[in-house]
Structure 1
């Protein structure tokens, strides 16, 4: 860890060479071979990510941390691991759960090949596939997990099934013996099946369970004897009743087993329930106390009471919605997952006694159909989509109270979610539920936004009945007055009036343009102080506030909040848009007060001019808040940068431990560093092993500032092994994203592997981050409001500024020259927004850009979703027409390649088809490359490899004409 860096320590020159060299053993021959193999290697390794540790969570006192990692560089099955320090300070990495072992144990297969992985992929529910698409998750196996507060129980899904890993260290071995001792036969004998609803009773609740289920071989077996209670789970589902895998590693003892599955299979076999009551298992979350697991099927919320002391697990449905395909419960709606980075649809209370549950009705949204033209016998997939300028899903929030911890199984009955107390807020005025936070620091928190995202509110959910002006509120426990009938029955109580949970407004924010979401906000400190995001236009800084007062210094742009204590906030933040630091921002101590403002010293490199978004503000700094501490000091506790090297970093923290994960310009692989007690004399640290492959070459990339706005840019030149290494003049390939809040110019070597491959094909490759790309101040981002074409202006400025910038480049390789950019041969490639920008370039600036490859471009912004598009373009249809590409079709006079996956449910293929149709109608020649079965992510390794080669050949031909 290091104290706050000054800007002089960073790259402040107009032209800065990339530090570091390539592999010591690399020769021209090996580099040429690596470049030639790159398209296939990139595809097979999923961009060199397989085998790298990720998704770390530090547990308890910080001495151990969970993380995910596959076994090798081409293994896409992700396993659950534990990084931990033993009592002697030795570091261990222990494999807790391997999906191949779990699935093979349950199927009698050795599990030594890709067959098990494929089976896992095939068993993933459609809803989980959709969640992974929203999260851009491309791996198989264990891709997410949930852990309890004490950090010794973890739940996850594999193959569509629910699993529990429990681990302890020496001294607690009796705990794991007692808790995890399970006997499948005893489990079957002890289940009271009289509590299960029969088909007729279930039908009364809106769930028709009486129909023939072709997927249930047990129910439809004419020889089945319902009275034969000695039927095992194996006979019911064709697999052993219990899978149990034990791990011993020195002081560590761990057990992984399938959770609730024996009970579930037995119930299905004996009572004839249809499996859809309890499956699919989606988004499982363990309770903070580790005794319960909640998950959703999309229609129902199910709870599993984890069996203790040899008792069976108790699994049952507790609340849900009727079989309306448009209504879900416990799932994040599309807009939340795609644009808000909110993937949760229910939240545990810190005392493990209640759940907040989202109910989403998607019926107001337009119904779209995603088809596979290559398989005409396959029905189209229909889904509602939040299309811009149309209605959103109706999102509501309800609270379910489980009962006392000692009598949970007896206190759970099934309820329609609409009968539960509903959280009240102005849903017409603030229709987006952006985030939910529930911790011991205070009441449950909501962050809600209006439709235009120009206003948001932080709300606290108050107890039922605390506000007599909010509906009718019962003061009774949710189960009081109701008879507990068979699982699946409706409540039969006397109350019929609507029950409400009022909210109180804690903060209100507004903007003329839009308000960005900062992940991790709002939140409580453990002591009950409110942490919120504060967009400070006066200092042009996204800051953090405690109880309404900004406490992070001006100039530090806050990106995410990672952890909060009573003493500090750990956040991802930056003073240079090319880097992301993990920073500890101290909080004022109790009894200290804000007493005014101070000047935060900033250099020219980090001040933003409000007029043009560039450097060179006239004042010496910006206003911030200071704390009344030592009068001899400047009154401002200094932020502490936790990463010791500039790069792109994130972190997890608990107790006296932290895991840092990041990439830099010095390493091909990401670095995961586990530190425990790092501030004490006896502290330990260890680097977690990274098994990812590397490309075998080092990008020859230089960082520059381009144009009058000082855009950050990266220029990648042919390597010394390339036949173009000594070329005097080369065509230019612009490789931007260019869209809101995403940057391509970062201090991470992995960002430029693609660029180096393209450079060795004979291009000068340039990535330039223009206005709107984030992390350079509010004015920089807001400049593109209603004007997506501003991104094209910046790319043109970058092209025009390129000759002067390149004339000043240092010779970073002694045997390589710096070629002159051929501005008569300039191409652009990009995906998603970058695809839109590429098509826009040849349509509106054909004198500057002479060819383009546009991948998955949103050509008509009325076909994209509400939350993203309306944030930047507003609600005026005229603005959408001005920013869309369809009307520009007659202007095309340069080669254009359109690429689009037919299975893309984010930017649908309708975008490229509409532009292609308009081009054809205007008589404009172009190339259309449809990708059957491909979504917004090109996960198929054959497609990913050949797509890169196809674009290269297209551009070579286009620029040669």
Structure 2
């Protein structure tokens, strides 16, 4: 279960808290000390939350620096339609911004079902130009659009439709040196020579259950691997996966739309059932010669990552056991593909979290590797003999991601939570080891995008008091220019409402094992300490997610609406959630929905100590994993939660996929009791009243069946509840009309239940 919808409230898995172990801590986050912000005092309506222009102002996506460092490029939504994107540029020297390519110059048509599903798993939404790739010489761009490919010349502004043949093209990209374009069509891999326009199939046996160069469902949804092929740096070869889905259960899934029902056949790997059979090969560009990598005798495995070494003669792949307690980094030479050398062995009694922080160095026979072996995710320098040369970062905090390895200057730039767990900052550490330097300093969340070969970067920054800003920075963090300052002045879409925008108080309660649980508490507009207010606890709580952050999120718009209606909104990251280390996360292993619920109960225990909280009127609201948490909280702790809103919940873990579910619960045959205890269904009899459930009826992530099973169980028990189901909606409930109706319904429900 990916967590890119997470800022609303997805799934929760906290740890047990005792009622007497609560303590509070004043926030040290400077950005949220003000009680209000400058701006107008117009009330925020639900209809305005997701209407155009976007409340957050101009918030470009798809940020890139051209390889020559002369241009910043980005995708920007139109003023009259924030979800229709054109390609824009900023000249670095002058700071001048202009449209680089109007999407109207392309033919934007219907996507294939495969591409729709792929974009849903990438959490890419919108129309117009959604992806683009720079050529190595910075003179051209490759732009996929509606199953065809366009080649855009930056110098003369011409757009050329590339000859890709019949059929829908997906996962297209330029080769490393820009001489070829590769893509997948009809479940086979193709390469187009841009000079001769010769189109060559690299594979020919794709079709039916056989998919070449394509990521399987769980790789896309759970491993953050959206591709199934990788170019060698010198363009001589491509490594690719070949998957056989014939052993995976073929499910006929109903996608219910307003004007009919679409029957979709999908090979879905339910927990405990068969996965795909995966193979790894290398194919040469000149003669299409294939060499198969020997992966070992065990076939029931995952291949989550593949990386070439700089010499293009050696290939690495990560081998993961099905129980996800073993992860090996293996190295193979193209002259001996039947022999692999294991460079790194990671082991865990629970599970091993995947990351993408593997960087093979060009100037020495070593690589950078990220590992949680000491309990927190940190960086290591390891030789190609497998021996650790140096641990580069350490401490009771986590590295988020390596952003740039600059061998010329000897620095590694990375993001992490060294300053505060509620903020993400940019740091650097010497490649040879040494003191860590802080590069970013503004309180909030920093997501840098570096140039390919220089320590110059774009900083995508936001905080609770600042919608996303984009700025260009030098190697020591100095700001060189604004790309989008996005200042909330009188011309900004947010300005009329900003005077009533409420900032939270941060703090913590202690778990029964002494670990600190971070929370943030939003007080209502026009708050009075002499009154008592009902509370909405917004929850996700699942693995790989964090709600309690100093970050801007469009999902907080509904929070602001609730504050203006006189509600308190409270969020707590229970144990099991992200960025706190393995001790904090692994407590949920083999039993979901118990420790998490108890942690949320501890949050309520704290709330009930506050004189301005109406302790009898507290509701729990979450989506996805948060929807699961909402049901578990209401069913198991009705004395804590008067009402609950459950959106798109997993209710029976036997209905969810192998990679996510077995990571936390193990195999169903080995943990039957854990699966039963982690399901919502055994606790239906504990439900009393006050439930609203909603679900998208075309959800291909958390299948609609998860909700219908609870509907039937509640009906069989004669329990009264409410449900709203959305024809055609997927897991993320996209679309202005859908979201407007949804949030109007939720607000109405909360008014009736808590006031």
TM-score (norm 1): 0.70
Indicate how the Cα distance of structure 1 residues 754 and 728 shifts in structure 2: closer, same or farther if over 3 A, else same.
same
Comparing both structures, which one devotes a greater share of its residues to helix?
1
Provide the rounded CA distance (Å) in 1 between the counterparts of 2:361 and 2:649: 40
Provide the rounded CA distance (Å) in 2 between the counterparts of 1:452 and 1:318: 33
Unaligned runs of 5+ in 2: 1-23, 383-387
Partner of 2:221: 338
Provide the rounded CA distance (Å) in 2 between the counterparts of 1:383 and 1:46: 37
Aligned partners of 1:71 and 1:79 also within 8 Å: yes
Aligned partners of 2:440 and 2:477 also within 8 Å: no
Aligned partners of 2:91 and 2:97 also within 8 Å: yes
Shift of 1:524: 4.1
Provide the rounded CA distance (Å) in 1 between the counterparts of 2:256 and 2:747: 27
What SS does the aligned partner of 1:79 have?
A: strand
Aligned partners of 2:471 and 2:485 also within 8 Å: no
Partner of 2:322: 451
Partner of 2:427: 583
Counterparts in 2 of 1:314-325, with a 5 A limit? 314-324=198-208
Q: Does 1:391 align with 2:274?
A: yes
Q: Does 1:359 align with 2:242?
A: yes
Provide the rounded CA distance (Å) in 1 between the counterparts of 2:580 and 2:362: 28
Indicate how the Cα distance of structure 1 residues 448 and 145 shifts in structure 2: closer, same or farther if over 3 A, else same.
farther
Q: 1:662 aligns with which of 461, 467, 479?
A: 461
Indicate how the Cα distance of structure 1 residues 427 and 50 shifts in structure 2: closer, same or farther if over 3 A, else same.
farther
Shift of 1:772: 1.1
Provide the rounded CA distance (Å) in 2 between the counterparts of 1:422 and 1:97: 42
Indicate how the Cα distance of structure 1 residues 676 and 801 shifts in structure 2: closer, same or farther if over 3 A, else same.
closer
Shift of 1:22: 5.1
Q: 1:371 aligns with which of 233, 243, 254?
A: 254
Shift of 1:449: 0.9
Indicate how the Cα distance of structure 1 residues 62 and 374 shifts in structure 2: closer, same or farther if over 3 A, else same.
closer
Indicate how the Cα distance of structure 1 residues 664 and 375 shifts in structure 2: closer, same or farther if over 3 A, else same.
closer
Comparing both structures, which one devotes a greater share of its residues to strand?
2
Shift of 1:330: 1.6
What SS does the aligned partner of 2:628 have?
A: helix
Provide the rounded CA distance (Å) in 2 between the counterparts of 1:441 and 1:675: 31
Provide the rounded CA distance (Å) in 1 between the counterparts of 2:212 and 2:541: 36
Deviations 1:394-418 (A, max 9, x none): 1211111012xxxxxxx56xxxxxx
Partner of 1:101: 105
Q: 1:542 aligns with which of 358, 364, 377?
A: 377
Q: 1:511 aligns with which of 342, 348, 371?
A: 348
Partner of 2:61: 54
Shift of 1:353: 1.4
Indicate how the Cα distance of structure 1 residues 684 and 647 shifts in structure 2: closer, same or farther if over 3 A, else same.
closer
Aligned partners of 1:770 and 1:794 also within 8 Å: yes
Partner of 2:331: 460
Provide the rounded CA distance (Å) in 2 between the counterparts of 1:564 and 1:333: 30
Indicate how the Cα distance of structure 1 residues 73 and 874 shifts in structure 2: closer, same or farther if over 3 A, else same.
farther
Higher RCO, 1 vs 2 (CA within 8 Å, ≥6 residues apart): 2
Partner of 1:157: 144
Provide the rounded CA distance (Å) in 2 between the counterparts of 1:378 and 1:851: 32
Shift of 1:563: 2.1
Counterparts in 2 of 1:464-863, with a 5 A limit? 464=335, 466=336, 500-521=337-358, 523-524=360-361, 527-537=364-374, 540-547=375-382, 548=388, 549-566=390-407, 567-575=410-418, 576-588=420-432, 637-654=434-451, 655-667=454-466, 669-675=467-473, 684-688=480-484, 690=486, 693-694=493-494, 696-697=497-498, 698-708=501-511, 709-720=515-526, 728-750=531-553, 752-788=556-592, 789-804=594-609, 806=610, 820-863=612-655
What SS does the aligned partner of 1:783 have?
A: helix
Q: How many residues are treated as equivalent by the alignment?
A: 704
Shift of 1:367: 1.7
Provide the rounded CA distance (Å) in 2 between the counterparts of 1:675 and 1:101: 32
Aligned partners of 2:248 and 2:267 also within 8 Å: yes
What SS does the aligned partner of 1:380 have?
A: strand
Provide the rounded CA distance (Å) in 2 between the counterparts of 1:916 and 1:941: 27
Partner of 2:4: none
Q: Does 1:957 align with 2:752?
A: yes
Provide the rounded CA distance (Å) in 2 between the counterparts of 1:55 and 1:22: 32
Aligned partners of 1:643 and 1:660 also within 8 Å: no
Indicate how the Cα distance of structure 1 residues 165 and 675 shifts in structure 2: closer, same or farther if over 3 A, else same.
farther
Of 313-322 and 904-913, the range deviating more from structure 2: 313-322
Shift of 1:587: 1.3
Indicate how the Cα distance of structure 1 residues 699 and 101 shifts in structure 2: closer, same or farther if over 3 A, else same.
farther
Partner of 1:614: none
Provide the rounded CA distance (Å) in 1 between the counterparts of 2:64 and 2:332: 28
Aligned partners of 1:19 and 1:665 also within 8 Å: no
Instruction: Find the structure with the greater CA-based Rg.
Output: 1
Of 647-656 and 894-903, the range deviating more from structure 2: 647-656
What SS does the aligned partner of 1:440 have?
A: coil
Partner of 1:184: none
Partner of 1:348: 231
Aligned partners of 2:411 and 2:430 also within 8 Å: yes
Partner of 1:415: none
Shift of 1:913: 0.5
Of 345-354 and 541-550, the range deviating more from structure 2: 541-550
Q: 2:673 aligns with which of 865, 872, 878?
A: 878
Q: RMSD in angstroms over aligned alpha carbons?
A: 2.6
Q: 1:929 aligns with which of 690, 709, 724?
A: 724
Aligned partners of 2:35 and 2:502 also within 8 Å: no
Partner of 2:291: 421
Deviations 1:911-932 (A, max 9, x none): 0001111111122222222111
Indicate how the Cα distance of structure 1 residues 824 and 761 shifts in structure 2: closer, same or farther if over 3 A, else same.
same
Of 332-341 and 525-534, the range deviating more from structure 2: 525-534
Partner of 2:19: none
Partner of 1:284: 172
Provide the rounded CA distance (Å) in 1 between the counterparts of 2:558 and 2:365: 47
Shift of 1:900: 0.8
Indicate how the Cα distance of structure 1 residues 894 and 948 shifts in structure 2: closer, same or farther if over 3 A, else same.
same
Provide the rounded CA distance (Å) in 2 between the counterparts of 1:49 and 1:160: 31
Indicate how the Cα distance of structure 1 residues 679 and 93 shifts in structure 2: closer, same or farther if over 3 A, else same.
same
Shift of 1:853: 0.7
Aligned partners of 1:699 and 1:749 also within 8 Å: no
Q: 2:26 aligns with which of 3, 8, 13?
A: 13
What SS does the aligned partner of 1:319 have?
A: coil
Shift of 1:757: 1.3
Indicate how the Cα distance of structure 1 residues 677 and 564 shifts in structure 2: closer, same or farther if over 3 A, else same.
closer
Partner of 1:302: 190
Unaligned runs of 5+ in 1: 1-10, 104-119, 169-245, 248-254, 265-274, 404-410, 413-418, 467-499, 589-626, 628-636, 808-819
Partner of 2:9: none
Shift of 1:885: 0.7
Deviations 1:269-288 (A, max 9, x none): xxxxxx3xxx2110101111
Shift of 1:298: 4.1
Shift of 1:791: 0.8
Aligned partners of 1:50 and 1:74 also within 8 Å: no
Shift of 1:746: 0.5
Provide the rounded CA distance (Å) in 1 between the counterparts of 2:630 and 2:224: 26
Aligned partners of 2:464 and 2:550 also within 8 Å: yes
Provide the rounded CA distance (Å) in 2 between the counterparts of 1:373 and 1:462: 50
Provide the rounded CA distance (Å) in 2 between the counterparts of 1:561 and 1:83: 26
Q: 1:919 aligns with which of 694, 697, 714?
A: 714
Partner of 2:13: none
Provide the rounded CA distance (Å) in 1 between the counterparts of 2:273 and 2:246: 12
Deviations 1:500-526 (A, max 9, x none): 553221111101111111223364455
Provide the rounded CA distance (Å) in 2 between the counterparts of 1:831 and 1:865: 18
Provide the rounded CA distance (Å) in 1 between the counterparts of 2:510 and 2:244: 48
